[in-house]
Structure 1
Amino acid sequence: MPFTASVISAKEWGAKPPKQWSEITRPQYIVVHHTATPNSPNDVSKGTLAGAKNFAKSIQTAHMDGFGWVDSGHNFLNTTGGFLLEGRQGSLDAIKQGRCLRSAHAGNPKGNESPGIENEGTFTTYQMNAQQWNSLVDLCVSICSSCKIDPDNIKGHRDFSPTQCPGDWLYSQLSRLRSDVRQRLGASTEDYLREGSTGQKVKELQQILKAKGFNPGPIDGVFGSGTLQAVISFQKYQRLNADGVVDSITWKALNSFPTPKEEPPSTVNLLDSYKFYRGLPHQDQAIAWLQEQVSKPTLEQFSQKWRNLPSQPFLPLQAGAVGSEVKQLQQRLQQQGFNPGAIDGVFGAGTKAAVIAFQKSKGILADGIVGEKTWATVNLS
């Protein structure tokens, strides 16, 4: 369902340029506010379009000059005349793309990642007129549709910060608002799962992801960062919109994706095989062949997990170590005039003595152990 609410952009109402542009966020909620300004007939906007634009300007000035914020603190404004106006600049375009801008309306980092709607008036006991209410419903329907937000996640400001906002009456009407929005969404309403979701449905999702070869981490019914990355990896693999939100399209793709057949435990030790091929003329061909046998999702997870670890996982080298790295060390020591004895890939007494002598000559702690610093120095000398 496309974004259908009629919203006046910040450019159209004459907003000042922001002090800086806000970062893009992935919204989970809609946060409802009231402006705590006079109600009709003393409402600031007087229910007119010109009044709505002037009200938006005055709020922006108060937020930027009075509070020191980079722009309007809210994302949208709903006036007594039912006029909807963009607040923080860039919010409208971001929402239409299923995202939001980090703002300052909720007084809470999590709430500020989601769109905040300021409703003109003070709704402690005063009841919103039908025109303004319908505009609020229209905007919430469009946001829920574009950002795949469950109407149950329409919240009040007081759900995020200790405040009376959005007023007792409007807060009491949030259940009605959720119901109206859900009814308007109709057939497009789906049980979206996204970061922050919890429950049995999330647990089922995690079990399916794991069975399909996309590791979500613990099967705990909590849609956390591990589950998010697994969903995104699956969506990328299936060439879907990789937004990390599980909608009907992603569910359908998951259920139709073949489950890998269980293979009997391998009798081949991969690490031993790699060490055997390392340094041999056909090493590259062997590793390239092995890579073709591993699924793309597994390779992506492997890359994400290990890409930031040290590039010399065989370190430290010390007495008793064996292998091609020790042989390389012995060759470098010998080339620099430090005799390690036989170039045999065995870290014995002669190699240790040569390492100690080398470390002393370079002002490195002379412990006979080749760590990151000694390895780098011996290869750069």
Structure 2
Amino acid sequence: MSGRVSNTSRYESAVTVLQRRQAEMSEAQMQMTSGKRVSKPSDDPTAAARAERAFIAQQRIESAQRSVGVSRSAMALTESALGRAGDLLQNAREKLISAGNGTYSGAERAALATDLVALRGQLLQLANQTDGAGGYIFGGQGTLAPPFVDSAGGVTFAGTSGQGQLSTSEQMPTSVDGESVWLSARSGNGVFVTGAAAANTGSAFIDAGGVADPSVLTGQNYQVVFNVAPPAVTTYAVSMNGVPTGQTGNYIPGGAITVDGMTFDIGGAPANGDAFDITPSTPDMDPFEALDRAIAVLSDPNATRGAIAQSVNSGVRDVDAVMSHFSANRSVAGAALSRLDAIESRNQDRDLWAKSVQSDAEDLDMVKAVSEFQNKQTSYQAALQSYAMVQSMSLFDYLK
């Protein structure tokens, strides 16, 4: 009886060892096949936790990179649209200068006005450009309809002012405040605005002017009124907010007039009572308004030489102001693209670090794994031989 128990015990022990060695060898073989040391938490709970945290970090970084891609697309579209808008305005500027040619007939100026109408339409299309995902790049904080509406009173912004941002710790814009970009250039030369009174009948016109002495600027409204009494010398008088300043002078065509730090030239021949206004600059200039004013004068067959000259001067001045404004906003979009490149670079570094942590936690050292597999294979073969020996033992072996 004891011999049977002993044989059975040896047999079961050999089978147990054989199964354990086979399981160890199979596990080692699976690890070599997958390249993973930790395939499930029970393999190494601490390493599995580290690998899981690194994997979650990679998922967050991947989401951030998608956000970078969305923002980059929006800013690239913005930068490109503003570049094309600048080209259209440069074309409009050249046509305005051509319209100032004194030899042009009314029909030729009307043809230039038609070209300006076409350029205006193209500008409006750029202002309402979509982002390819159902939104508008100049739609501000979001709108389902084109943000810029053209009506009898001019172009207005129908979106929500502000800039769309992705919900992230980094500044990643997805749209641009169209109202600020398209409708908020500073009027005039950026400090003050010169213009002819509507009732003028002479051929005089005023240029954009400039600042002679910033320290004495007042920011008030001025008016220069001409007194023409042939054959006497033409004179002018300056008033501020409707009150005479006492500043007067003889008019010299093309000569500079300086008033409280502002200087400007008036050319042509003013009629008696003609007036020119100088008012503070405001941030409400837009390309559509600038072109509309020029188009109205150039399309009018009865426009006087003074009105045409003033329209050309004012139109060029306003187009230059808007072009400068677009250029500044284009630079902002370019800076955003540079910032997005930096964010993407940081994300790539973080992603590489997270992948390294995950790899260190769960990946297999192949050289070490091959050596261990060979050891386990040797152990398995030894267990197999031991099992074979135990299985061959019987009572007949002892009776021989």
Query: What range is the shorter-chain TM-score in?
Result: under 0.3
Identify which of structures 1 and 2 has the higher relative contact order when contacts are C-alpha pairs closer than 8 Å and 6+ apart.
2
Q: Greater strand percent: which structure?
A: 2
Larger-Rg structure: 2
Q: Greater helix percent: which structure?
A: 2
